Amino acid sequence: MKALHMIAFILLVIGGLNWLLVAFGWNLVSAIFGTSVWAQIVYVLVGLAAIYEAVTHKKNCRMCAA
């Protein structure tokens, strides 16, 4: 489960950085993948990672579990 947690965390960081760039008018995912199905896959993976982290965060987080 640690590997899944790390993958979800990395995807959330990528998604968060992309949103930061979108705020300044530049979409990193679209710049890399265009409007292809691959961009949609990245968005779906980031969304699923957010759901996974929201559901399992308290169990996985050392600060929240204490």
CB 49 within 8 A of CB 8: yes
CB 4 within 8 A of CB 52: yes
What are the counts of helices (DSSP H) followed by strands (DSSP E) for the chain? 4, 0
Q: Which of 10, 59, 36, 3 is nearest to 18 (CA)?
A: 10
Q: Give the global pTM.
A: 0.72
In sequence order, which residues have a C-beta less than 8 Å from that of residue 47 and are 6 or more positions away? 15
In a structure prediction context, what are the per-residue pLDDT tens digits for the chain, which is 66 residues long?
678 878 888 888 888 888 888 888 988 888 988 888 998 898 898 888 888 888 887 776 776 665
Hey, where are the domains in the chain? Answer: 2-65
